[in-house]
Amino acid sequence: MTVSLFVGNNVIAQEIIDKAYMKCLYKYTYVRDTLAGVCRDDLLMLQIGHKASKCFSHYTAQIDSLYESPNGREVLNKQMKQAFATNIDPPHKRMRAYLYKNYPEGKMTVTDGASLQDYIYEDSLNVQNWEIKDSVKIIMGYQAQKAECSFRGRHWTAWFAEEIPIDNGPWKLGNLPGLIMEAYDEGMQYHFLINGLQRVNDEPIVFTKTYIGSKKFERTTRKKFLRHNMKVLCDMNGYILLETGIDLGTNDKQKVLRYDLLERDYK
């Protein structure tokens, strides 16, 4: 199914993969630099439909929405100048991944980016093998029960609400008999906490296009993407020089120690 969005004199065709009946917001905090202890935050949106769901960064989606409009880059440039002039955080992409669960059926489709190229790969769905514990706590007025599992190199703790019988959650997490309200890894390098829950009426779940680089997704596999992403993080200056001809200076040889990806099983 597709829908045409009219922007000025242009018509932008968007593929609708499902329609959401519920929307969740999660505060996402993570350690960006493990040596310096630099933390970052994000706001993730989870749209839940009857067949598929979509999880993505609210801030990244704002930037991508500007890219798709005729005068979006001009608007973004003005916002950037205003941010620098007032010494506030300029608009920028945060988590670049868009995750589509049960799309195609029984699988997960992930789009993500590294440097100036976006990629697409297929992933397994609901592969976490949770052990449900007796502990409970209240999150947003719901009784949440504790569960633990090891998933792709990290030990995860999740708190899920059986009152909301949806086997879904932030990022790639799910496969519990209730919506995941909170999840974090051992050491709290990555932390998801729900802070909004809303019933919606047939809100379109749209497959987001790419508007950077070649403006086409390069197909890959999960582990190949993770390995490439780590190489880019550890040699960002080199990749920028290769792709744009701009030399930002020497590389930091300690960068390989600074980054600890969300999924550690890429080697």
pTM: 0.86
- The contacts of residue 86 (CB under 8 Å, 6+ apart) are none
Question: Residue 96 has what pLDDT?
Answer: 95
- The contacts of residue 25 (CB under 8 Å, 6+ apart) are 43, 44, 45, 46, 58, 194, 195, 196, 197
Write out pLDDT tens, residues 93-150.
Answer: 889 999 999 999 999 999 999 988 999 999 999 999 999 999 999 999 999 999 999 9
- Going by the DSSP 8-state scheme, the letter that residue 206 receives in this structure is E
Question: Residue 40 has what pLDDT?
Answer: 92
**What are 69's two structure tokens?**
């409009």
Alpha carbon separation from 228 to 70, 105, 266 (Å, rounded): 32, 27, 10
CA gap 185, 169 in Å, rounded: 14
CA gap 171, 99 in Å, rounded: 7
Q: Which residue positions in the chain have pLDDT lower than 70?
A: 1-13, 69-70, 72-73, 75-77, 79-80, 82-88, 90-91, 236-257
CB-hemisphere CA count at 13 Å for 105?
2
Strands 190-207 and 10-33: antiparallel
Question: Residue 18 has what pLDDT?
Answer: 98
* Helix 236-244 with 222-234: angle, nearest 10 deg: 90
Question: Residue 14 has what pLDDT?
Answer: 74
Question: Residue 83 has what pLDDT?
Answer: 60
Are the C-beta atoms of 185 and 150 separated by less than 8 Å? no
Question: Residue 88 has what pLDDT?
Answer: 64
Question: Residue 128 has what pLDDT?
Answer: 97
CA gap 55, 170 in Å, rounded: 7
CA gap 12, 153 in Å, rounded: 40
Question: Residue 199 has what pLDDT?
Answer: 97
